[in-house]
Amino acid sequence: MQDRFKLVAAGGALVVLFGVALGIGALVGDPAENAAATGTPGATGLSASESGYTLADLSAPAEPNQPGALRFRITGPDGAAVTRFTTQHEKQLHLVVVRADATEYRHVHPVMDAAGTWSIDWTWAQPGSYRVFTDFVPTATGADLVLGRSFTVAGNAVPQPLPPPARTATVDGYQVTLDGEQSTAGSELRFTVTRDGRPVTDLQPYLGAYAHLVALRAGDLAYLHTHPQGEVGKTPPGPDVVFHTTAPSPGDYRLYLDFAHGNSVHTAEFTVTATDSAGSGGHSHHR
């Protein structure tokens, strides 16, 4: 990921800069077709193959509430399963799964066997079309790759509308407040974590950082997973986590903020609307 965005510290908070690599998620339709229509430069996770590597042999339970395993392999340019990966953010591979309407988000870490098959215990909660993202670095190249593939879970799927923009999200008894506006001109997003009205000042390291941000943009199911790496022990562990973002285009975005506290990982979700850099007066409706 280091080749796609720059990590810096500013104002005693965690800061991640990400520009045109910011990808985001389709809420309806086929992700690949939507991506082709939008033509977003630098978007990731739109294809199952890239640079000779392929997300292959994806399998999972076919119906909701049916326990089983989600399995897949990463094959290399020679067609064989890749078994050597470089650890990034404490894991050899990050798996992110989200339904096409931006619900049912999960960020987990499967285990690879000696033959190169990754697997994790899995149960779907709802029917529908899902996007499965694998984020990894093949040791052979040292370059971060994000490969994505769709998976359909049988049943009568009822798409949920994208929630309207809001400044506060509640999750597991925590309140997370978002301050700042997203725009194509670049802007600061500050997340403040509180519990029972008190600032949380002892966030726990999670995958080598105090928080992580996944962004999904309505329209193409492209993907960005940002990590404020290298800051644990150097910046205060809360209550604020700050990301400096530059949206690649105007539009609606779904943000997923993962943070750890109380020995558990929590995910706060937000909808934001990015404005064009020329639309300086278009931010007030989010306040």
Q: Which residues pair with 49 in a beta bridge?
A: 54
Point out which residues pair with 232 in neighbouring strands. 235
Q: Order the strands of the 251-261 sheet from edge to edge.
A: 223-226, 212-217, 251-261, 264-274
In this prediction, residue 194 carries a pLDDT of 98
- Rounded-to-10 torsion of CA 248, 242, 3, 183: 10
pLDDT at residue 46, rounded to an integer: 84
Amino acid present at 262: G
The whole-number pLDDT of residue 215 equals 81
Cα distances from 282 to residues 11, 181, 251, 273, 278, in angstroms, run 27, 10, 12, 10, 9
Strand 93-99 and strand 68-75: pairing?
unpaired
What's the average pLDDT block by block, 10 residues per block, for the chain (287 residues)? 32 34 34 40 77 98 98 98 96 95 95 98 97 96 95 96 95 96 81 96 93 82 64 89 77 92 97 73 34
User: Could you give all domains of the chain from N- to C-terminal order, each with its CATH number?
Assistant: 5-24+162-286 (2.60.40.10), 43-153 (2.60.40.10)
Residue with tokens 């943000």: 255
0.85 cut: is pTM over it? no
Q: Quick one: pLDDT at residue 243?
A: 79
Report pLDDT for 203: 95
**Whole-angstrom Cα distance, residue 205 to residue 8?**
17
Residue 144 near residue 236, CB atoms below 8 Å: no
CB atoms under 10 Å from CB of 212, counted, come to 26
